Amino acid sequence: MHHTIKLIFRACFAAVIFTVTAALLLTCFSKAYEIAQAQQNFAQAKKTHLQSTAQEQLVLLSNNQKPDQAVYVAIAQNGYIAKAACQHYPEICLDEYNQQQTRQVQNIDLIKAGNFHYIQNVQYTDSRTQRSQRLSYTPEQIQQFYLQDVADLKYVVFGIGLFALASLFVSFRILRNFKKFLNK
pLDDT digits over 36-72, tens only? Answer: 999 999 999 999 998 888 888 888 888 888 888 888 8
Q: Which of 41, 101, 114 shows the shortest CA–CA distance to 71?
A: 101
Q: How far apart are CA 16 and CA 172, in angstroms?
A: 14
* pLDDT band per the 50, 70, 90 thresholds, residue 158: very high
**Entry field: residues in the chain:** 184
At 93-151, the pLDDT tens digits run: 887 777 777 888 899 999 999 889 999 999 998 888 888 889 999 999 999 999 999 99
User: What pLDDT does residue 6 have?
Assistant: 84
User: What pLDDT does residue 77 have?
Assistant: 73
User: What pLDDT does residue 1 have?
Assistant: 65
Mean pLDDT confidence for 68-81: 82
Contact indicator for 142, 112 with CB cutoff of 8 Å: no
User: What pLDDT does residue 130 have?
Assistant: 85
Q: CA separation (Å) from 159 to 18, 166, 171, 180?
A: 19, 11, 18, 31
User: What pLDDT does residue 160 have?
Assistant: 95
* pLDDT band per the 50, 70, 90 thresholds, residue 31: very high
pTM: 0.81
Highest mean pLDDT among 5-9, 30-34, 94-98 belongs to 30-34
User: What pLDDT does residue 138 have?
Assistant: 93
